[in-house]
Amino acid sequence: MLQKFNEQNENIYIYVKDGLYKRAEAKISVFDSVVQGGDAVWEGLRIYDGGVFKLHEHLNRLMDSAHAMAFENIPSKEKIINCLYATLNANQMYDDVHTRLTLTRGEKITSGMDPRLNQFGPSLIILPEWKPLVYDNDNGITVISSAIRRNSPSFLDSKIHHNNLINNILAKIQANKAGVDAALMLDNYGFAAELNGSNIFVIRDGILFTPFADACLHGITRSQVLDLAKSEGISSQEKNLSLTEIYTADEMFCTGTWGELTPITEVDGRKILNKTGSHVTKRLQAAFKEDITNHITDIDKTVRI
Ligand code: PMP
């Protein structure tokens, strides 16, 4: 599924470093770390009905990522929230919006890899866009398993939500070339890790399984789905999942902020055949929708910059 340009986003305001700029003027320096080395961390947030979904969970993960990367002078959560609200208010965006929040290590005094060249503090970018859920959550998506392995902690810890996305982009290119929607990335041992941009779950004989969060992002939607399974009385387990266990699953779906819960209907040309006739995906999709209001932080509509 290829996203299309949305004309509503033609004249949006974007926060870059110190203020709001119209889309055409929103620029970052060629000396910025994100240009020089993908040296930045990020979060994707979704806005529902006047509020930000799981705001504090996303900001905590952003802070942890920045701390793990040894960023200096990290802006406070309060400052980021203020800038976020001001940006959403400037755009009057309160529903059906995806916001990409990026914190780079900042501008360098000269080009180079060394973080000691970063002497101006991090750069904050807040990019909100009108964006409906990216996948068709009724009909689902198809995937292939990719030859590109998802990083394990031995190489680049997936617990850091960083901007060095080449690992995932190479896998996505394989999916594109194969004519499917996304790539299923395996870990270093050949077990399933996640899709190139979302976490995965399978259902076998009524039990919900998801890979250990070792070589995948510890997704916020993933952990919510595990919570929902508990409250719905669905047994769940983190487990190493081989491709065979995936091909022979009854149901499979992926999770992420920009798509919620999306069925996966085919992996490597194998249809996911629901042998038991279970409806776990549908139950969890409905439970997720109902639960959204419990995790919304209202946007303070008075904040301006
Ligand atoms: N995996 C990857 C690689 C991702 O980039 C994302 C979204 N940023 C996810 C999973 C889903 O995470 P979340 O549920 O926190 O949006």
User: Whole-angstrom Cα distance, residue 101 to residue 124?
Assistant: 7
Task: Evaluate: CB of 217 within 6 angstroms of ligand 1.
Answer: yes
Q: Is 166 helix (H, G, I), strand (E, B) or coil?
A: helix
Question: Is residue 2, in this structure, part of any structural domain at all?
Answer: no
Cα 195 to ligand 1 centroid, rounded to whole Å: 9
Cα 111 to ligand 1 centroid, rounded to whole Å: 30
User: In this predicted structure, what is the pLDDT of residue 97?
Assistant: 98
CATH of the domain at 13: 3.30.470.10
Task: Evaluate: CB of 219 within 6 angstroms of ligand 1.
Answer: yes
Question: Is residue 31, in this structure, part of any structural domain at all?
Answer: yes
| Mean pLDDT in order along the chain per 10 residues (305 residues) | 94 97 98 97 98 98 98 98 98 98 98 97 98 95 98 95 97 98 98 98 98 98 98 98 98 97 98 97 98 98 96
Q: Could you say which of 110, 132, 154 is where a domain stops? A: 132
Cα 2 to ligand 1 centroid, rounded to whole Å: 18
Q: Which residue has the tokens 């970063």?
A: 118
User: Whole-angstrom Cα distance, residue 106 to residue 35?
Assistant: 10
Cα 198 to ligand 1 centroid, rounded to whole Å: 5
Task: Evaluate: CB of 211 within 6 angstroms of ligand 1.
Answer: no
pTM over 0.85: yes
User: In this predicted structure, what is the pLDDT of residue 198?
Assistant: 98
Same domain? 47 vs 180: no
Same domain? 155 vs 222: yes
Same domain? 145 vs 286: yes
Give the E-state strand segments of the chain in sequence order. Answer: 13-16, 19-22, 40-48, 51-53, 97-104, 123-130, 141-145, 182-186, 192-195, 199-204, 207-210, 236-238, 251-256, 260-267, 270-271, 296-298
Check: CB of residue 151 under 8 Å from CB of residue 196. no
Same domain? 205 vs 256: yes
Task: Evaluate: CB of 163 within 6 angstroms of ligand 1.
Answer: no
Same domain? 120 vs 153: no
User: In this predicted structure, what is the pLDDT of residue 44?
Assistant: 98
Q: Could you say which of 85, 107, 132 is where a domain stops? A: 132
User: In this predicted structure, what is the pLDDT of residue 1?
Assistant: 81
Number of folded domains that form the chain = 2
Question: Is residue 164, in this structure, part of any structural domain at all?
Answer: yes
Q: Point out the ligand 1 atom lying closest to the alpha carbon of residue 216.
A: 1
Question: 66-72: long-range contacts at Cβ-Cβ below 8 A with a sequence spacing of 24 or more?
Answer: 66/41, 66/103, 66/122, 68/157, 68/159, 68/160, 69/39, 69/41, 69/105, 69/160, 69/162, 70/115, 71/41, 71/103, 71/105, 71/122, 72/118, 72/121, 72/122
User: In this predicted structure, what is the pLDDT of residue 236?
Assistant: 98
Question: Is residue 1, in this structure, part of any structural domain at all?
Answer: no
Same domain? 281 vs 156: yes
Same domain? 103 vs 245: no
Same domain? 114 vs 168: no
Same domain? 176 vs 122: no
Query: Which of 66, 43, 69, 73 lies closest to 56, judged by CA?
Result: 43
Domain that holds residue 227: 141-292
Task: Evaluate: CB of 160 within 6 angstroms of ligand 1.
Answer: no
Same domain? 162 vs 282: yes
Query: Which of 99, 18, 86 lies closest to 59, judged by CA?
Result: 99
271-287 burial by CB neighbour count: b if 16+ within 10 A, else e? ebeeeeebebbeebbeb
Q: Could you say which of 101, 132, 163 is where a domain stops? A: 132
Q: Residue 21 forms beta bridges with which residues?
A: 14
Question: Is residue 286, in this structure, part of any structural domain at all?
Answer: yes
CATH of the domain at 210: 3.20.10.10
Same domain? 172 vs 78: no
